[in-house]
Structure 1
Amino acid sequence: MLWDRLRRLAVLLDGPEAEAEAASPVFSSGESVAGRVVLELSGPARLGSLHLHARGCAQVHWTESRSAGSSTAYTQSYGDRVDFLSLRQLLLAPPGSGEATVLPAGRHEFPFAFQLPERLATSFEGKHGSVRYWVKAKLLRPWAAAKRATRVFTVLEPLDINTPALLAPQAGAKEKLVCTWYRSRGQVSVSAKIDRKGYTPGEVIPIFAEIENGTTRTVVPKAALIQTQTFLARGTKKQKKSVVANIVGDSIAPHKRDGWHGRALKIPPVGPSILQCRVLHVEYSLKVCVDIPGTSKLLLELPLVIGTIPLHPFGSRTSSVSSQYSVNLDWLRMGIPDQPEAPPDYSSVVTHEEPSENLSPPGQDEATGILEGPFFAYIQEFRYRPPPLYSEVDPNPPPDNLIRPRCMTC
């Protein structure tokens, strides 16, 4: 039969992964997506039409058990969906007479292209929901079932952490009164600080913390990076929290104090934060806790945002220092002394034989060469600048009312 000669139907997207159907190409909002639908026929075949449908949506679904009375129970379902992308294209249309199109044996390609809309949500697979994007091809054949092929692609929405809100330091403090059998056993307090709110996967979070153990028991400080998935539907939300990275500090003896001076917590490869989707949120936080035997933990939570655009080397005055907290800054302290040194003698800097042009400001080419060098050398150049030209006329004379008359008889 002519309609059974279809050997292969596939959707390929342009790029390095074009021939690898298992790969998932990555795009961003506003970009163009191009590809082709491939038909391989073992012989001449009669085909109807070929349709292409590009889809993208975020959907959530979960169930909860409800009890009504002592013997009756039922299950309540919750679900919702938001569509981001829905485009249709007709790649192969039947002739005007309504008869099927006959294609010869071999490989046939039908190109397509479309543009992604702005403000999409990043692709995500969660416990009770997901954000997915795909392209589906549907081939209609006379006297046969329709044939379908799907190609999934990934959308990575840019999230820049180089903003004032995400570069601001985060800090907090908490304390807890430990009581057992209605007797006070002392107080435990913790204060923590991180240099900024926004990070990207692979970066290291330096944690600065002070833990004071005023109890009679040994406590253990810990820190963890928490991912919180929030699913929203019909005015109800469902959350799932998981630990993606953690560190454990040294034990603190009773009535002792300890501190973390930049304790490193590395961010593993995790998905970025999703904050603008109506039905699904992905948020991160840094939890610093103190494990106290015999009672609940003391928890301190600092919000975090995991982005996709890393920190610029010179994006802000504090970013380069805060991101590289382990850099030794002793060279800066030695290079610029606390007390400025006295300027050299005028005669040792400028001689009579030296032309006056040397005292003029550097030209355009010379100034460009100075600025292109290291910044520290540019600072050092100003330490030995010659004093201004000598003049017996005061360029800034004091006001007349401040000049005291001199007594000639004294």
Structure 2
Amino acid sequence: MPEKIKSVTVCLEGQKQVYRPGDEVRGYWTLTSEKEFTTKGILSTFQGVAFVKWTEYNWNKRFEDDEYISYEVYCKNTVQLHGRGDTSENIQPGVYKYPFKYRIPLRLPSSFEGSKGAIRYMIQVRIRRPIPFPDVTRYKCITVLEEIDVNDACYKNPRCYKKDCQVPKALGFGNAGKVELWGKIDRSAYCPGEQIALSIVVKNDSTQNLGKIKAQLMQYVTFIGNAKEEYANSTIKVITSNSELVAGKVINWDYQLILIDGIPATIERPTCQCISVRYVLEVIVSVPLFTGSDMKLIFPVTIGTVPFGKSLKATSQSQAAGIQVTDVSKAITYTSCNKGWRPFNQSSTSRNFPNMTYTPMCAYAVNYKYKNVTTAPKPKQNVTASAKSNAATNTPSNVASATRLSTNPTTRVTKTSTPPPTKTVSTSNTSIRVTNSTTPTALQPSAPQLETLSKQTGATGTGQHQPATNNLPNSGSVSAAANSQVEGSISPPSYEEAMGLPDSSVNDNSDDDEEDAGVYYMIIRFSKDIMEDFLSFVKNNKKLLEIQNGRLIFKTIKPYKSIGNWPKGKHVVLLSFPSKKEASDWITTSPGIQETKWLKNSDIVVTGVKEQFQSGKTMVTISEISMIEENVEAVTRYRNLIENILRPLRIAHGGILSVNTPKYAVLQGTWRTGAKSKLSIMAWPDITAVKNYKSSIAELQAVIDELKPKCMIIHNSATFDIANISIEESQGEDATSTS
């Protein structure tokens, strides 16, 4: 940025982060100049685009690598904030505010970020400078969510499927018998924060011993470029049975609850022609090698943007005095996606698509409560009780039996019609000069407004999904008062009820979720006095990092506290690579890197990634712990507490568990304390989010303090303020983001 222009920031009305088609985007850009400078005009543009780009290696050395690109424009509206564009004008030192207002069209796909493409909605300001000065450009990304209401009738009915297959004997010689699988989910559309109620009955009438039963929520993304399709798959959630399906055994899951993390919404054609995002719940019966392929039952699942029991029409005008009133019980809350997205590190100057990291947001149900549903018939069971069959049952509350599966019809899901597109509307406003004013700071993502978390129960009930019943505000209260009623009122379910949810024969521990394939983090720890040596090397040898497809994510800038044997005065930087090999090659094969001071005095580890790091985070805690597996009861209780209470609240408050694994490799120095120690990286938006989270679990603090020492040993831990530097390394000086 030119020295004459000190800062360019944006402020959205109400610090709003999520919008719906038809909403109006209001705000203003703030320009602060210390000296007089010349401009040919200031432009503001709102645009919604989908951009797909990837390259494939061309084995013919005479040609360049094949490049696949597609591009869609959903809306683009530019207004002149200052000047006429044909003549130059001098702007005096001071602080200037330029208001803007845009209307979002009706028919738009939801925001999405993937490895090979993205759907982005951006507000851009461009300060045009006369030659030879470069233009100054800033971007602000917002999330736009298509209306997918899980309350629609087409999604409410349970979905039942049945499958059976013949199991061959070893090497395929002969028939070993039959395996029958019946499954049901309570409905076909959910929002993040809600739970899928899965019921299955698996009967092994063969002579072969089969493996464990696994249920996994999968995301399948299709990118289309130059009429070619490229696919990316991600595992969102996995639960497995603790016991195998041996010959003659029946496994029965009754309404096993599967929590949905913060993930992007479903995107289908024709809303977007170059990116599609779909989800399925897969129930898999593992078949041993050389016996046959795994048996799989597939439930298509739609991820919506309007949670169960909520409404987009929760805000209305009071008839008494025209005062806006918010129905707190129907209001929708939002949080950043912690899974199902990947950074898209491509750009296009001609298409005005910048290379930047943005984390899309999603509607998140923090008060979802489920009661068992009995609307769909279950298969009839002939009970022949025995001690052996009771031991084989997957749920303690159920009676194991030899089961006859009855065929259940499959219900088709119909699509709702999409409203026709409308033209964009914007209003240009004249600039307002402000003198003797402080410079606005860059915006941080605002914490979501969190609603009361109702108690979750697994007992039999009325067979209904029960949304929270909050008291409505008085008609005379304004929406701000209603919103303040929502904030800080989060209360978790009681410990006894939460601990009664899990099935002891089902492994529902999120620590065992699969890591994000194709992403590895390198953590480098060294003393603060050599941080500049590292940053200088990366800046001067940027191409060496790009050769290995590496990306600098953050550096620590201020320590809060440390626990255990964390080395005194040590700071950390985090880098991202597509593979362990590329991470290792960067520090072993890059010219001149072995002679650097920072490499000779650092501890380096490489680890897999569970949740992508988000650019809006400003605090991080890095820990190394060991679980005391001998205390089986305490470990089980603590993991259930994490899964059923702490994890959903952590996601709702914007916290992410980016790394949590014992499978990390030490490339240099000393880091691993124990043979079975786990490395974890927890990140938060700011200190306020941490305090709100701790306040929401205050009633459970005594239970946590009791279980924690029995379950884990904290070898070392440190908390830091961090500075996100991925944008500084990947963007030019005059094309940065304010997100």
Q: So what's the TM-score if we normalise by structure 2?
A: 0.40
What residue identity is the alignment partner of 2:6? R
- 2:278 matches 1:283: yes
- The alpha carbon displacement at 1:326 in A equals 3.3
Does the Cα contact within 8 Å between 2:372 and 2:461 map onto a contact in 1?
no
> How far apart are the structure 2 equivalents of 1:290 and 1:163?
32
> Aligned partner of 2:274: which letter?
V
Contact (CA 8 Å) 2:371, 2:462: kept in 1 or not? no
* CA distance in 2: counterparts of 1:279 and 1:313, whole angstroms: 31
Letter in 2 for 1:310: P
Distance 1:81 1:305 in 2: 25
Residue 7 of structure 2 corresponds to which residue in structure 1?
A: 8
Counterpart contact for 2:45–2:77, Cα < 8 Å = yes
C-alpha distance in structure 1 between counterparts of 2:304 and 2:253, whole Å? 26
User: Is 1:79 aligned to residue 72 of structure 2?
Assistant: no
The equivalent residue for 2:504 is none
**Which residue is equivalent to 1:146?**
135
- 1:132 maps to what in 2? 120
Separation (CA, whole Å) in 1 of partners of 2:34 and 2:68: 47
Partner of 2:95: 107
Structure 2 residue aligned with 1:340: none
Alignment equivalent of 1:93, drawn from 83, 87, 106? 83
- Kept after mapping to 2: 8 A contact 1:91/1:110: yes
Distance 1:209 1:4, change over 3 A: closer
Runs of 4+ off more than 6 Å: 71-74
How far off is 1:64 after superposition? 4.0
* Aligned ranges 1:285-300 → 2 under 5 Å: 285-294=280-289, 295-300=292-297
Q: More displaced, 138-147 or 125-134? A: 138-147
How far has the Cα of 1:48 moved from its partner?
2.2
**SS in structure 2 opposite 1:216?**
coil
Note the C-alpha offset of 1:76. Answer: 3.6
For the Cα contact (< 8 Å) 2:122–2:139, is it kept in 1? yes
Aligned twin of 1:164: 153
Provide structure 1 residue ranges, at least 5 long, that are not aligned to the other structure.
18-24, 332-410
Contact preservation (8 Å) 1:222, 1:288: yes
> For 1:31 and 1:47, how far apart are their aligned partners in 2?
32
Q: Distance in 1 between matches of 2:62 and 2:136?
A: 46
Task: Give the direction of change, closer, same or farther, for the CA distance of 1:66–1:36 in structure 2 (3 Å limit).
Answer: same
Match of 1:252 among 245, 250, 258: 245
CA separation of 1:330 and 1:47: change in aligned 2, threshold 3 A = closer
CA RMSD of aligned residues (A): 2.9
Match of 1:383 in 2: none
1:171-214 deviation digits (Å, cap 9, x = unpaired): 21222222223122222221111121011111111111111112
Cα 1:239–1:142, aligned 2, differ >3 Å: closer, same or farther? closer
Identity level (%) = 25
Inter-partner Cα distance in structure 1 for 2:230 and 2:300: 19
Could you tell me how far apart the structure 2 residues matched to 1:240 and 1:145 are? 38
Q: Cα distance, 1:108 vs. partner?
A: 0.9
Q: C-alpha separation between the residues in 1 aligned to 2:258 and 2:150?
A: 18
Matches within 5 A, 1:361-400: none
Q: 1:83 to 1:260 in 2, by over 3 A?
A: same
CA distance in 1, matches of 2:157, 2:460: 22
Residues 358-406 of structure 1: CA distance to partner in whole angstroms, max 9, x if unpaired?
xxxxxxxxxxxxxxxxxxxxxxxxxxxxxxxxxxxxxxxxxxxxxxxxx
Secondary structure of the structure 1 residue equivalent to 2:155: helix
- Tell me by how many angstroms 1:5 deviates: 2.3
Secondary structure of the structure 1 residue equivalent to 2:100: strand
Cα separation, 2, equivalents of 1:99 and 1:66: 48
- The secondary structure found in structure 2 opposite 1:157 is coil
> Residue 271 of structure 1 aligns with which residue?
264
Q: Structure 2 CA distance, aligned partners of 1:330 and 1:198?
A: 20
The alpha-carbon distance between structure 1 residues 140 and 74, as it changes in their structure 2 partners (threshold 3 A), is: closer
Contact 2:371–2:458 under 8 Å retained in 1: no
Secondary structure of the structure 2 residue equivalent to 1:326: coil
Matched with 1:308 is 305
Query: 2: CA distance between counterparts of 1:167 and 1:245?
Result: 22
C-alpha separation in 2, matches of 1:160 and 1:154: 17
For residues 202 and 162 of structure 1, the distance between their equivalents in structure 2, rounded to whole angstroms, comes to 15
Q: Which has the larger radius of gyration?
A: 1
- Say whether residues 1:178 and 2:178 are aligned partners: no
Work out whether residues 371 and 459 of structure 2, in 8 Å CA contact, stay in contact via their aligned partners in 1. Answer: no
Matched, 1:197 2:188: yes
SS at match of 2:253: strand
Report the Cα offset of residue 327 of structure 1: 4.3
Residue 225 of structure 1: how far off its partner (Å): 0.5
Aligned mates of 2:108, 2:58 — CA distance in 1: 35
8 Å CA contact retained: 1:12, 1:151: no
Equivalent-residue separation in structure 2 for 1:226 and 1:287 (angstroms) = 7
- For these two proteins, the number of residue pairs brought into alignment is 315
- Structure 1 residue identity aligned to 2:39: L
Residues 59 and 130, structure 1, Cα contact 8 Å, conserved in 2: yes
Runs of at least 5 residues in structure 2 that lack an aligned partner in the other structure: 312-329, 331-369, 375-455, 464-739
Report the Cα offset of residue 94 of structure 1.
4.5
How far apart in 2 are the matches of 1:86 and 1:76? 30
Bigger strand share = 1
Three-state SS of the structure 2 residue aligned to 1:15 is helix
* Cα distance in 2 between the residues matched to 1:151 and 1:313: 28
Give the match for residue 200 of structure 2: 209
TM-score normalised over the length of structure 1 = 0.70
Give 1 or 2: higher helix fraction.
2
Q: Is the 8 A contact 1:50 1:138 kept in 2?
A: yes
Distance (whole Å) between structure 2 residues aligned to residue 219 and residue 142 of structure 1: 70
Alpha carbons of structure 1 residues 191 and 73: separation in structure 2 relative to 1, 3 Å: farther
**How far apart in 2 are the matches of 1:34 and 1:313?**
25
